Amino acid sequence: MAKSKTVVAAEHFTYRLSWSSKTDEYIATVAEFPSLSWIAPTRKSALEGLTSIVEEVIGDMSRAGEEIPEPWDERKFSGKFNLRLGSELHKAIALKAAEKGESLNTYVVKQLTTSEN
């Protein structure tokens, strides 16, 4: 994961809000700081609470000379990654791709794209 010693605005990180039926409250999380979360009765207060904590953490990390995670939106990706899946699964997927008349890469990309939605 790329990190930066530059102070980044808390608003630049990747936040997610979800509802918890167990607690009847909203849970805010931030991808760049997976150990942080905030629970509150409204979406707005959950996001505001977590943003405040992220600001504190960024300040603490900066004062300690620690590297601050780079926001997801600012990260660069090559479009490639290696995947180890075992010989039997590799064979099965290659066969499915061949049956569809597609390259293994095209087949896997299509499968990942459709399963994401």
Domain ranges of the chain: 3-74, 87-116
What ranges make up the beta strands (E) of 56-100? 68-69
| Domain range 3-74, CATH class | alpha beta
Q: Model-level pTM? A: 0.72
- Per-residue b or e along 76-92, where b marks 16 or more CB atoms closer than 10 Å to that residue's CB: eeeeeeeeeeeeeeeee
Q: What is the pLDDT of residues 56-112, one digit of tens each?
A: 999 999 999 999 999 999 999 999 989 899 999 999 999 999 999 999 999 999 999
